[in-house]
Amino acid sequence: MFRRLAVLATLAGAALAGTAALAQAPSGKVTVVTSFSKDVTDPFKAAFEKAYPGTRLEVQNRNTNAGVKFVEETKGNNQTDLFWASAPDAFEVLKGKGLLQKYQPKATGIPEKIGAFPINDPEGHYFGFAASGYGIMWNTRYAQANKLPEPKDWSDLAKPAYYDHVAISAPSRSGTTHLTIETILQGEGWDKGWRTVKEMAGNFSQITERSFGVPEAVNSGQTGFGIVIDFFAFSSQASGFPVKFVYPTVTTIVPANVGIIANAPNKAGAEAFVEFALSPAGQEVLLEPSIRRLPINPAVYAKAPADYPNPFKDPSLGSRVKFDVNVSEKRTAVVDGLFDQLITFQLDAIKGATKAVHEAEAALAKKDNPQARALVKEARDLIAAMPVNEQQAASPETAGAFTGAKEKGARQAELEAQWAAFAKERYAQARAKAEEAAKLAR
Amino acid sequence: MNQPLRSADLAASAAGVSIEGVNLSYGTNHVLKDVSLDVRPGEFFAFLGPSGCGKTTLLRLIAGFNQADSGRVLVGGKDIAPLPPWKRDVGMVFQSYALWPHMSVRRNVAFGLEERRLPRAEIAPRVEEALELVGLAGLADRRPSQLSGGQQQRVAVARTIAVRPKVLLLDEPLSNLDAKLRVQVRRELRDLQQRLGITTIFVTHDQEEANTICDRIAVMNEGVVQQVGTPMELYERPANLFVAGFLGTANILAGRIAGSGPDRAFEIATGLRLPVDPGVEIPAGARLVFRPQDAVLGSGGDAASLPGRIVHREFLGSSVRYGVEIAGTEIVVDMPFRAGSALEEVGAPVAVTIPSRSALWLAA
Amino acid sequence: MSATLAPAAARPAPRLFASPGQALAAAAIALFLLLFLVWPVATVIYVAFTEKGSGAFTLINFVDFARTDLFVRSFWNSVYVSAMSVVLASVFALPLAAITTRFEFRGAALVQTLGFIPLIMPPFVGAVAMQLFFGRNGSVNLLLDEGFGFKIPFMEGLNGVVFVQSVHYFPFILVNLSAALRNIDRSMEEAAQNLGSSGFRLFRRIVFPLALPGYLAGASLVFVKVFDDLATPLLLNVKDMLAPQAYLRVTSIGIADPMGYVISVVLIVASILAMWASAAATRGRDYATVQRGGGGLARRRLRPWESAAAYAVVGLILALVLAPHLGLLLLSFATVWSFSPLPDAYTLAHYGRVFGASADYIKNTLIYASLAGLIDVVLGAAIAYLVLRTRLVGRHWLDWAASAALAVPGVVLGIGYLRTFYGVQLPGGQPLATLWITIVLALAIRRLPYALRACYAALQQISTSLEEAAENLGANKARTVRRIVLPLMTGGILAGFISSFSTAAVELSATLMLVQSNSDAPLAYGLYVFMQSPAGRGPGAALGVIAVVLVAACALLSHLVIERGQKARGAGH
């Protein structure tokens, strides 16, 4: 441990020299803060250190949000070279706070877009190095034991059969889930999108606090179906778990990114890592069974197994939604706040209302009753109702309450309390109406 | 204290205790060896002996906290060996008092009655009665930690007699009190016992305590009952050297029997002989034992006296205690002191006369 | 002038009743606590008292807290879960403590040792293993469903949290209650038997009330730990409790909202109140139960059927509380374990995978946890001595401040350390916060309350007359402490070390914020990294097993050292 001090002292000197002469060969310790697991970082570390002898990749594993917080808290005396994670939003936050260094990668053969999504930040602050799509993963033993059909699309998860069988991670806790929700909102529109999300939410058995909580629960069979990013499912399959995965029609393929931290102590090393990640050698690492992410260099797919999804060949993958990062970035915190207040912290209420609706519809299927049908529709509308519309959500007043804007205005806690009260009241009404409908239909 | 005593109903439950051939060992340590004795109903009885003699072990055996390897313990004629401590109905006052710190005095005293599932209406007056008997009626709501040592001791007694046990066991109840209080409390204990008429067994290592308040005493040493008797019997006719030495001060002279018939004498050292009356039986290996106040100092010349020399002198008020060296052994002789009595000086030669009726011949 | 001084002269003024050495020690401890606990925490939670926009002092955020349905609900949920956890933990701990201390029970020492293991629950893997056993589709429920067609929701909702927390924290009650039971004077129990009490009534009316201080000490620890724990509720996906709410808010990006810190303040205040209440409940009562002629409770021999029943009860409880560790062991050997009562097949490969990686983790864990434990017992013994043996002005503040550390959420401390020490540069330009010693300090502060309580109890049992005798014979304060007090406190100090060491060895929440590189990371961090990917589950479990075995071995070793020391001292009698 004391040895490390000495190494660091010499490194600090080397880093200073590095900033003076950019052309110097990369060497020494390259520190990366990442949300990626060991399965991803270990092969990259090995390949990178082999490609650039003399370098040492120092991996600090933190979840995306904690990583952002860390970079923010330590900016006064920054010791981190790179930020490496999936969610473009996190990079937008860092970029917004001036914590990312601009850079022009030299790598070639990488197209501008994947699906409808630009691979790199147009302003050059962060760079896509792998693509991922969102979808549904399920445990085949669980599905068989509970006699549940294989889902194909998001709307399938809203069906009564899946009640209490679906897991998701909270978008406020998981950058990838946030993108999934945002994709649905952008793909189906604000109101219809939320309706879809809430109809699924009525079937949630759990809302986990970590992204990995969902694949973990599905792998162990504690829950049957999970809304996850594709590589979780692929790497689970590679580890032997009895799971399957499907891309729904409304999905987007978004790049996982890497960016150089402003004032990086080892700038040359950081740039070397970015170049490596975008090079064919780096791209091939993505094909390893334990990683299984989609390369952004179309040429690399030649080396992939036959059944490997290829977003550059398969038009159904991700091209349906044109994902707008700017729209997403403006309302990130508000969407997460809405999800938490309307769904995460009201899960029992929304599930109760949904179950009542399912039962009423089951009764109606046996014996129709127009009055009851109207009540059920009202109930569904009440569940889907939103306290704010798309414009309000993106307005500076609302967003400002969440991003710690300096000017006076509504406090976050105030808004949240209003939204929670709004949801609680409507879920209770919806449940009452659905129960009334069930009585009428009986 | 102006309430009439209701000792009759308590005395009615008094029972005798018989201990028959009890043996008890802890591993290889034989603590009680073939112990047999009888405590009569209503008697104040003491187990007396030095520490480690087994007296407390015997008491705890009666209470049920120890199990005998063999032998029987009968209370009121019934073998209580199969009964657990809580069904024996023998009340014990612990040396440490064992008052429960989390309960008030009242709750402490009421405990045994509550455990006997007495109706509430009956418990309250009996607690009051017990506290009044020990003179603590005003302190019922205090906690034990707020009481003096003497008061704690009385609570411990009140707690035990409140349940009206068949037998009262007292384990060194006075040892945690100061000297003055000890004298006062032991009188109160005796008084209480007399009023209640309860069979009481008292464990102590202090012969004065045992002598002053007990009807009879069992002297114990090394797990063996040495002698049972009234204090006076034990003092006057100790069964052996241990009892003689443990109760009061005793002079012990070793020697051997020489001659026979009228010439029979006890030879303490070569040429130093004490004639022995013909009728006296002397067991083999016996020693001559006598009390300090029974010997007489004289100027000598008598055949039945032993020559010695004064080695020290203590003035005790009503008497003077002389240390006298006889053939290398030091004995003590108490001479009554009256105004004007002449005193022997240290270093002076004297003759010690031991009246024949005061001489005890005891084997070890 | 003289008139104003008169009252002070009449009444003895509060003197600085301490030697210069003691005052110096107190000052040093105060400085340490200020620097590494109070200041870092203050830098984080002051936000709770500031107004949005202006930054002026305000209490409006606390009004928001009271007005928000979610927070009020979370508060009561936390109270409910903590209280019920105390109840259920007592159900686990009471029989174990009573049977092992009051009866001649073969294996009592083993039960006491095994009963300590649940405290060493590695993060993440412990919960995963428990899900595999008791979860909705865990082994137990799969078998129940197959055999009888129903399931028991062990791990669902608030009651699931109660279940897991009770299993995890009941050793606090077991350890404290057992010690208290052993210290009761035998005559206390015999007096009650003599007056006709026996069995459960005797236990309820005499024995348990006398052991109450020990029980309350353990129960309040359980209450506070459960109240402040965020990992277990979050892993069970219960979010409407106070500690998880604070964590979620503090760590979510884009949220510069003061509510997370408001909740932290509420947590700290509530925890201190709980500790204070348990202390107040026994204050002013004389519970010094070790009296002359003492010697602990009599151990009764059990009749055959009683013995069988006792073994059954002990076995059942141990099976329940050790199930997570058994699950962990199975998981570490399992190839795939999914929706089935037992794994599909077994392998040693996971151990192979962590074998190389774990050497650094193990070394770091041992260094960090031992250093933290060492700092804790030094501070704990010193604070206990200052509080109990001197009349230094403000000495209780040291005690309160150190105990308050129990209530500071790890993540708040972690962020506080980053804020406070990242700006402090070492000569090489490296921030102080990146040095591994920062992790040690954070661990030491987090575990200080455990060691402090153990040292405090140990010192309370030493009669001051023993020290007075030493001083009377010419030893000064310092030499008396070294030659009399410390040797007599050895047992308590080692017990404090074991609790601090073992729990610090598996601590994650503060560590996660502070670990700066893999080569400086402890086992818990390694576990976290493994448990983020499907292929890492087995290796993570293997690492968890290694952690438990390692910590348990160290704890057992210290335990043996204590016992030998006590035997050596006992032989002197």
A303 Cβ contact list (under 8 Å, min separation 6): A284, A287
For residue C534, the SS3 value is helix
More confident site: C378 or C295: C378
**In Å, how far are C22, C102, C212, C284, C485 from C287, measured between CA atoms?**
28, 19, 9, 9, 21
Q: What is the pLDDT of residue C188?
A: 84
Contacts of C209 in chain B (CB under 8 A): 100, 102-103
Shortest CA gap C185–chain A (Å)? 51
Burial of C104 (0-12, 13-18, 19+ CB in 10 A): exposed
* Neighbors of chain A with 3 or more C-beta pairs under 8 Å: C
CB contact under 8 A, B115 and C285: no
Burial of B271 (0-12, 13-18, 19+ CB in 10 A): exposed
Q: What is the pLDDT of residue C1?
A: 34
Q: Angle, to 10 degrees, between the axis of helix C259-282 and the axis of helix C395-404?
A: 120
Q: Is B173 on the interface with C (CB under 8 A)?
A: no
For all residues of chain B together, what is the average pLDDT?
87
For chain B, the first-to-last Cα distance in angstroms comes to: 50
- Nearest CA to A281 out of A267, A266, A299 is that of A299
Q: What is the pLDDT of residue C562?
A: 65
Contact predicate A185/A221, CB 8 Å: no
**Going edge to edge, which strands form the sheet with B329-336?**
B296-298, B349-353, B305-315, B319-326, B329-336
Q: In whole angstroms, give the CA distance from residue B267 to residue B259.
A: 9
Q: Across-strand partners of A34?
A: A61, A84
- Nearest CA to C234 out of A174, A355, A253 is that of A174
High-pLDDT (> 90) share of chain B, %: 42
Q: In whole angstroms, give the CA distance from residue B114 to residue C205.
A: 11
Residue with the two structure tokens 């102080």: C432
Contact predicate C206/C35, CB 8 Å: no
**DSSP string across A332-377:** HHHHHHHHHHHTGGGHHHHHHHHHHHHHHHHHHHHS--HHHHHHHH
The mean pLDDT of C350-375, rounded to a whole number, is: 87
Mutate to test the interface with A, among C353, C532, C537, C543 (most CBs of A within 10 A): C532
Shortest CA gap C205–chain B (Å)? 9
More confident site: B354 or C287: B354
Residue with the two structure tokens 């009201």: A346
- Nearest CA to B241 out of B294, B287, B292 is that of B287
Instruction: Note the Cα C94 to chain centre separation in Å.
Output: 18
∠ Cα C101 C105 C110 (to 5°): 80
Contacts of C206 in chain B (CB under 8 A): 100
Q: Is A99 on the interface with C (CB under 8 A)?
A: no
Q: What is the pLDDT of residue B359?
A: 87
CB contact under 8 A, C239 and A74: no
pLDDT tens string A65-96: 778 888 887 887 888 999 998 878 788 888 88
Contact predicate A294/A311, CB 8 Å: yes
CB contact under 8 A, C335 and A240: yes
pLDDT tens string B275-302: 888 778 888 888 899 999 988 888 766 6
Q: Is C431 on the interface with A (CB under 8 A)?
A: yes
Q: In whole angstroms, give the CA distance from residue B253 to residue B306.
A: 11
- The tokens describing A290, both together, are 């334990």
Q: In whole angstroms, give the CA distance from residue B142 to residue B130.
A: 16
**In Å, how far are A189, A338, B9 from A154, measured between CA atoms?**
14, 20, 89
User: What 8-state DSSP symbol labels residue C35?
Assistant: I
Q: What are phi and psi of A310, to 5 degrees?
A: -125, 100
Residue C14 has pLDDT above 60, yes or no: no
Q: What is the pLDDT of residue A2?
A: 39
Q: What are phi and psi of C479, to 5 degrees?
A: -70, -35
Q: Whole-model pTM?
A: 0.79
Q: In whole angstroms, give the CA distance from residue A9 to residue B281.
A: 105
How many other C-beta atoms can be found within 10 angstroms of the C-beta atom of residue C557? 11
Q: Give the least confident one: C150-164, C391-405, C459-473, C519-533.
A: C459-473
Shortest CA gap B116–chain C (Å)? 7
Q: What is the pLDDT of residue B298?
A: 81
Q: In whole angstroms, give the CA distance from residue B192 to residue B195.
A: 5
Q: What are phi and psi of C378, to 5 degrees?
A: -65, -50
Q: In whole angstroms, give the CA distance from residue C112 to residue C174.
A: 8
**Surface of A (198-257) touching C: CB under 8 A:** 205-210, 212-213, 215-217, 219-223, 232, 235-236, 238-242
pLDDT tens string C148-158: 888 888 888 89
Q: In whole angstroms, give the CA distance from residue B314 to residue A321.
A: 119
Task: Measure CB to CB from residue B102 to each of C191, C192, C209 and give the nearest one.
Answer: C209
Widest CA span in chain A: 81
**In Å, how far are A273, C169, C494, C540 from C117, measured between CA atoms?**
44, 10, 17, 19
* Closest CA in chain B for residue C190: B65
* Closest CA in chain A for residue C415: A73
The mean pLDDT of B96-106, rounded to a whole number, is: 85
Instruction: Note the Cα B294 to chain centre separation in Å.
Output: 23
| Cα dihedral A175/A181/A187/A188 (nearest 10) | -170
Q: Is C463 on the interface with A (CB under 8 A)?
A: no
Q: What is the pLDDT of residue A199?
A: 94
Q: What are phi and psi of C456, to 5 degrees?
A: -60, -50
Mutate to test the interface with B, among C195, C215, C287, C306 (most CBs of B within 10 A): C195
Shortest CA gap C508–chain A (Å)? 12
Shortest CA gap A278–chain C (Å)? 23
Q: Is C56 on the interface with A (CB under 8 A)?
A: no
Name the E strands within A187-342. Answer: 204-208, 225-229, 243-246, 253-261, 294-295
Q: Is B105 on the interface with C (CB under 8 A)?
A: no
Q: What is the pLDDT of residue C282?
A: 67
Q: Do chains A and B touch (3 or more CB pairs under 8 A)?
A: no
For residue C401, the SS3 value is helix
Contacts of B98 in chain C (CB under 8 A): 185, 187-188, 190-191, 291
Q: In whole angstroms, give the CA distance from residue C260 to residue C222.
A: 23
C224 Cβ contact list (under 8 Å, min separation 6): C82, C271, C274, C275, C406, C407
**In Å, how far are A46, A401, A402 from C258, measured between CA atoms?**
42, 11, 11
Q: What is the pLDDT of residue C245?
A: 87
Q: In whole angstroms, give the CA distance from residue A283 to residue A254.
A: 16
More confident site: C109 or C89: C89
Contacts of B103 in chain C (CB under 8 A): 209
Contact predicate A125/A259, CB 8 Å: yes
Residue with the two structure tokens 């009349």: C391
- The tokens describing B318, both together, are 């009503």
| Helical (H) or strand (E) element with B23 | strand B17-26
Contacts of C130 in chain A (CB under 8 A): none
Widest CA span in chain C: 89
Contacts of B176 in chain C (CB under 8 A): 292
Name the E strands within A357-442. Answer: none
* Neighbors of chain B with 3 or more C-beta pairs under 8 Å: C
CB contact under 8 A, C193 and B85: yes
* Closest CA in chain B for residue C283: B102
CB contact under 8 A, C528 and A402: no
- Nearest CA to B112 out of C206, A83, A395, C211 is that of C206
Shortest CA gap C4–chain A (Å)? 51
CB contact under 8 A, A404 and C256: yes
Q: Is A1 on the interface with C (CB under 8 A)?
A: yes
Shortest CA gap B100–chain C (Å)? 7
Contacts of C287 in chain B (CB under 8 A): 101-102
Contact predicate A73/A65, CB 8 Å: no
CB contact under 8 A, C69 and A424: yes
* Highest-scoring range by mean pLDDT, A408-417, B235-244, C398-407, C561-570: B235-244
Contact predicate C367/C501, CB 8 Å: no
| Helical (H) or strand (E) element with B83 | none
Shortest CA gap B101–chain C (Å)? 6
| Helical (H) or strand (E) element with B202 | strand B199-204
pLDDT-based confidence at residue B1 (cuts at 50, 70, 90): very low
High-pLDDT (> 70) share of chain A, %: 92
Q: Is C533 on the interface with A (CB under 8 A)?
A: yes
* Closest CA in chain C for residue B156: C191
CB contact under 8 A, A73 and C419: yes
Residue B261 has pLDDT above 60, yes or no: yes
The mean pLDDT of C436-451, rounded to a whole number, is: 90
Mutate to test the interface with A, among C252, C337, C342 (most CBs of A within 10 A): C252
Q: Which amino acid belongs to residue A105?
A: P
Q: Is C66 on the interface with A (CB under 8 A)?
A: no
Contacts of A416 in chain C (CB under 8 A): 68, 70
Rg (CA), chain C: 25
Q: Is C359 on the interface with A (CB under 8 A)?
A: no
pLDDT tens string A350-379: 999 999 999 999 999 988 889 999 999 999
Contact predicate C233/C241, CB 8 Å: yes
**DSSP string across B264-297:** -EEEEETTEEEE--TT----TT-EEEE-GGG-EE
Query: Is the C-alpha dihedral spanning B242, B243, B248, B252 positive or negative?
Result: negative
pLDDT tens string B166-209: 999 999 988 888 888 888 888 999 999 999 999 999 999 998 89
CB contact under 8 A, C239 and A345: yes
For residue A326, the SS3 value is helix
Residue B223 has pLDDT above 80, yes or no: yes
- The tokens describing C58, both together, are 């305000």
Shortest CA gap C267–chain A (Å)? 18
Q: Is B269 on the interface with C (CB under 8 A)?
A: no
CB contact under 8 A, C533 and A406: no
For residue C456, the SS3 value is helix
The mean pLDDT of C541-549, rounded to a whole number, is: 89
